[in-house]
Structure 1
Amino acid sequence: MPANLTYVITGGCGFLGSHLVRMLLERDEHIRELRVVDKTVNECVTPCEKVHVYEADIRSKERMSEICSGADVIIHAASLIDVPDGTFTQEELWDVNVRGTENLLNCCLATDVKCLVYTSSVDAFGPNWRGDPLEDGVEESPYDRTHLSSAYGTSKMAAESLVLEFNGRTTKDGGKLRTCALRPPHIYGEGSKLDLSFVKLSKLGTRISSPDVKARQAYVGNVALAHLLAADKLVSPDGIACGRVYNIHDDTPITNYQDFFEYLCPDVKIHEKMILPLWLLYFIAGIFGSLRLLLKPFCNFVPPLSRAPLLACNTTFYLNCAKARKDLGYSPIYAWEQSRQRTADWIEKQLTE
């Protein structure tokens, strides 16, 4: 790991961001300064001589330029995640995930920051609106991404494209900006409020996804490691990661989305058969979608069932990370059983408090 660098972590008080912060602090001797940025600051990290915490919105040009000034590496993990589907409007997702990312990239150019690693998502690649399957896909796999299944995925695809387009652009002082993007699948681990919500819902046992459908998950510690390795490669002279996107996963078993939560909580037992035929679930989701449109002028109605997550959990779709292993030297440091146990212990503690 290159020494004496200043890092900026956006979304640094969030789930992935807080793990990135902890992992960087474990390598304290390599860090000149760590700037943790989040729109809502919590007690995820204690400020000290090397660590500074900033409450800021990534859409603010003035504020982010001030924070980024003098930094060497930005790891951009801040994002709106639309779960449950419909929590945010398309406009809100685009404003934060795309315009916010573009603002941060322009701040890099204006303040002479040389490296940016972006947290993209498997959703930026698929599945598409038709639910075309893809097994063990690579970064260059031919896949129709014209219409992705969710507004979130569309916003992440657009932001990812911006990040790669900015690679090689000239900064204010004549340097070159180096960028890359990482595409993790669903990230699980201790601290994930999303996992906790999924476990609580899964305890009902209701199956809405075919047991034959498979997907990948990845442990947060391994995803955080991939980000630090990508940053190392951007800083290094060879520049092998510059302008590239990398799929990220680990040895977590490839399994059904709902069945996965049986691994994390012994109280979760998903029914073997779907609660209703898939066509009927889509029909119900369509009714809720129409209702959301009708209510849009008055409120943001969040439907209990919608087409995008229904399609995602009924489409076999997962990617291969051989390219990250080769270019970044990525090799997960947390094995599946360790990742599972750490997550399960955290979930059990949350459920008993």
Structure 2
Amino acid sequence: MYPVDDLDARPVELGAREVELSALADKSEMPSDMTYVITGGCGFLGSHLVRMLLERDDHIRELRVVDKTVTDCVILDDKLCVYEADIRSKVKMSEICSGADVIIHAASLIDVPDGTFTEEELWDVNVRGTQNLLNCCLASDVRCFVYTSSVDAFGPNWRGDPLEDGDEESPYDRTHLPSAYGRSKMAAESLVLEFNGRTTKDGGKLRTCALRPPHIYGEGSTLDLSFIKVAKLGTRVSLPDAKARQAYVGNVALAHLQAAEKLASHDGLACGRVYNIHDDTPITNYQDFFEYLSPDVKINEKIILPLWLLYFIAGVFGSLRFLLKPFCNFVPPLSRATLLACNTTFYLSCTKARRDLGYSPIYTWEQSRQRTARWIEKQLAV
């Protein structure tokens, strides 16, 4: 199974209907009787999207969940259809998309740690896979397409230029993004916006938009859980003081559904646009963030080695990776892209999403923190 945007976690139990999700249905003007396709639906973000849509079952006719490997990752529901398929398959995805109204494309290869996948693999899934889905929309007369992009599609850049509260049009140099993952997401994002307004087979117009969340946390995030497990084993982890935004998975899922709602509405306001997404999670460094989620995580206050030396070591590993490329995919323990991401104050504003999509997070920071901390504690106890 290819990871699905931070996402290869199994979903947690559904539990009772929550006040926040009930409120969501009251606020929504989503057209009823729509058929949704969610790619990466067995992953971290995807599974939360599935559950949130099923909480609003009066708005959907059918929900089609797609993932490359399907096990016990979805909830049983009479409106739910689960497909084991590769997003790169033209035949299979055309069949799945036939008759659908909305595609929410959350499936992606995510390169953590940096270098886990080759650039060719990332491009094949993240870019060509997205292009295949867009072509399936045209051939199957699907009208709405919401793409899960990433803050990595915007920056930081190779120089590590900082950006605080940047918007979607901020003059930021993106000509040289440091990670292959970021470059693949930027290319896929551009494709999604380029396809907006194209004519479908039956003469309709495809409406597209892209969402750029930051690092997503919450129940099911194996990325955060892995970090905390390492720290709790007694390994003292050193993190820099650069600040970034994080976003809770439930709020990111909400933004996707509101984007789909806007695309399906008559005003066309969201068509062909990209939106930054975040919530009221504090803007902080990674050290403080992980301590919020698990207070006894052991983290050094300062970097053990000088930053210039770490960049030099990362450069050596990068050269070694290039030399070994014909023989194997060497995954370096340290990369320049990782260093830049961790040492650059870089975060974006979602004012545009609040204005155009009516986006307003339904989970407060304290709710998000408590839910995530409880899930992490439960996983560590297993």
Range into which the TM-score falls when normalised by the shorter chain: over 0.9
Between the aligned partners of 1:205 and 1:247, the Cα distance in structure 2 is 33
Counterpart residue identity of residue 343, structure 2 = N
TM-score (norm 1): 0.98
**Partner SS state of residue 313, structure 1:** helix
State how 1:207-286 maps to structure 2 within 5 Å: 207=238, 209-211=239-241, 213-286=242-315
TM-score (norm 2): 0.90
1:184 Cα deviation after fit: 0.2
Counterpart residue identity of residue 51, structure 1 = L
Between the aligned partners of 2:176 and 2:35, the Cα distance in structure 1 is 39
Is contact 1:6-1:32 (8 Å) kept?
Answer: yes
Counterpart residue identity of residue 70, structure 2 = V
Aligned to 2:149: 120
**Partner SS state of residue 204, structure 2:** coil
1:47 Cα deviation after fit: 4.3
1:270 Cα deviation after fit: 1.5
Structure 2 spans left out of the alignment, 5+ residues: 1-29
What CA deviation, in whole Å up to 9, does each residue of 1:185-207 have, x standing for no partner? 00000001111112123442321
Counterpart residue identity of residue 60, structure 1 = S
Structure 1 spans left out of the alignment, 5+ residues: none
Between the aligned partners of 1:251 and 1:122, the Cα distance in structure 2 is 17
State how 1:328-343 maps to structure 2 within 5 Å: 328-343=357-372
User: Which is further off, 129-138 or 259-268?
Assistant: 259-268
Is contact 2:240-2:286 (8 Å) kept?
Answer: no
Residue 133 of structure 1 pairs with residue 162 of structure 2: yes
Aligned to 2:237: 206
RMSD: 1.0
Q: Which runs of 4+ in 1 moved over 4 A?
A: none
State how 1:321-332 maps to structure 2 within 5 Å: 321-332=350-361
Aligned to 2:129: 100
Between the aligned partners of 1:239 and 1:205, the Cα distance in structure 2 is 50
What CA deviation, in whole Å up to 9, does each residue of 1:27-63 have, x standing for no partner? 0111100000001112121344310000000000000
Is contact 2:240-2:287 (8 Å) kept?
Answer: no
The structure 1 residue matched to 2:338, chosen from 297, 309, 312, is 309
Residue 34 of structure 1 pairs with residue 47 of structure 2: no
Counterpart residue identity of residue 309, structure 1 = T
Is contact 1:259-1:270 (8 Å) kept?
Answer: no
1:257 Cα deviation after fit: 2.1
Between the aligned partners of 1:337 and 1:154, the Cα distance in structure 2 is 34
Counterpart residue identity of residue 246, structure 2 = Q
The structure 1 residue matched to 2:317, chosen from 284, 288, 291, is 288
User: Which is further off, 5-14 or 189-198?
Assistant: 189-198
